[in-house]
Amino acid sequence: MARKRVLITGAAGYLSRQLLPVFRERYDVVLLDRRKPHDIDDIIEVDLVNPDIDTYREHFKGVDAIVHNTRSTRPGVNTGAPRQWLKDRPLGDLEGYYVERDSLDMAYHVFRLAQEEGVTRVVTASSNHATDWYETKLHDGRMDSCDHTTYPLSDNFYGWAKIAYENLGFIFATGRFGRPVENIHIRIVVPRPVDGAKLAKNQTTYKRDLAGYISERDLQQLYMKSVETPDIRNADGVPWHCFYGVSDNTRSCWSIANARQVIGYAPQDDSERVFADDIARFVTSNGRTVA
């Protein structure tokens, strides 16, 4: 089988760096980022916020799939939700709207170029923050889990943007404006090791991160199967899905049932085993929830 040509945006970022070793082995990669780091020589500098998409169109030609891992940031502007409990969240910065509008514009440019240049599929890094309004309920026991049918709601611009470009991807997947572009959105939760010693004093955040952990090899598998699964049409016949990006965690409150069913996602890790020693030392209360 011919090697796929896969374009990765945000190629110098944390998520992409976890994917690159296996992607380089498996695919011919085209790497884009706003800035070229000193340690990845083949990254091409491209500003996807630029509305003149013809200035970077050439990089999308001949591509089979796109992994869209980039977003906009601005120093001093926090667009997300820094607290798990709604009552503890500080007032947000209204300038965050403009920052995340740039993120949404980038997603639009990627989807449009995918459609115009014949790219079959876009796999986008979304976030659990698309449903972060429910986190207090998850953590205090009023709600057991979120799945792909949970209505997306967020009280911050970061989560709003994720919701917006999931829906933007759906528009392109329907074919309403031309050739359908297949779309998978991966709602990543905790793509890094969980530091028990650091989080022990905040049992809510500690248990939340154990629930949302995804190991590097599970992240790689989830992305590869999202790129490679031939038929991803949903019940309505539209090639569009949202999957939560977590490992097979005992404490998980984010369902991966649809990822198992649609693309055969079979995570190998469980935070309960990966961090067993830390859990024995630092978890000080029973159960998944913290009242």
The answer to the question of residue 290 being in a domain is: no
221-276 residue pLDDT tens: 999 999 999 999 999 999 999 999 999 999 999 999 999 999 999 999 999 999 99
Q: What is the pTM of this model?
A: 0.95
Q: Distance (Å, rounded) from C-alpha 141 to C-alpha 135? A: 10
Low-confidence ranges of the chain (pLDDT < 70): 1, 83-85, 289-291
State the pLDDT at residue 74: 86
The answer to the question of residue 99 being in a domain is: yes
The answer to the question of residue 143 being in a domain is: yes
The answer to the question of residue 86 being in a domain is: yes
The answer to the question of residue 62 being in a domain is: yes
Which of 46, 7, 48 has its CA nearest to residue 30? Answer: 7
The answer to the question of residue 14 being in a domain is: yes
The answer to the question of residue 289 being in a domain is: no
